[in-house]
Amino acid sequence: MSTTGLKLCTSGVTDSSSPADWVNPGNITAKDGTYTRAESESGGGEDSSNLIATGFDFSAIPEDATLVGIVTTVRLMTGAGSFDVVYDTDLSLIVNGAAEGDNKADVTAWPASFTDKSYGGIADLWNTTTPLTVLLVQDTVNFGVNLRCYITGGGTGNPTYADVDSVEMTIYYTGGAAIATGKVIIMHT
């Protein structure tokens, strides 16, 4: 089995579907401590807007390879009062520009310091209805991942917030011929 290794997204946007919108969503394109933030001052909690990460560079995957697994890694944290928490409500692949397949959301509370949280697995293609092909995942505009979280508590002057520093993805595959310096290299599985 071969892997792409971790690839950072090159685009981060929000759909502004909630008052708890992501500020500076483009900050998720580097693992550097400069983050995007969604916060709730509602007092009762609310879902964040969707945070959409695309632009992963999977150009090195041979076109005739077979995809076998996808792992998404989100570097995230919360800043919350003693009774306030943030947890996932949606973590889905974006396929052909729309959310598809399994929702990998984890209702475990986000940590109080930046932590890498992984979703999916080396033999998990997220049960998408569209067959995932190499050309599909190499579409840097229409393939990616969507994150939405629930932000509890907060209140005027005392917000609860969710921070995301980076979104990375790894694709696992078998077979395929890689081209390097004009020579064809056959990769065995």
Q: Which of 28-32, 47-51, 74-78, 80-84 has the lowest mean pLDDT?
A: 80-84
Distance between CA 92 and CA 70 in Å, rounded? 11
* Residue range 151-165: mean pLDDT, rounded: 80
Per-residue pLDDT band at 185 (split at 50, 70, 90)? very low
pLDDT at 179: 41
pLDDT at 42: 66
Residue 131: CA count within 13 A, CB half-sphere: 3
| DSSP one-letter code for 96 | T
The one-letter amino acid at 156: T
Distance between CA 189 and CA 173 in Å, rounded? 9
Whole-number percent of the chain with pLDDT over 90: 63
Residues 125-152: pLDDT tens digits? 999 888 888 888 888 888 999 999 998 8
Per-residue pLDDT band at 187 (split at 50, 70, 90)? very low
Could you give all domains of the chain from N- to C-terminal order, each with its CATH number?
2-186 (2.60.120)
Longest dimension (CA), the chain: 63
Q: What is the mean pLDDT of the chain?
A: 87
pLDDT at 152: 84
Residue with more model confidence, 82 or 153 = 153
pLDDT at 130: 83
pLDDT at 80: 65
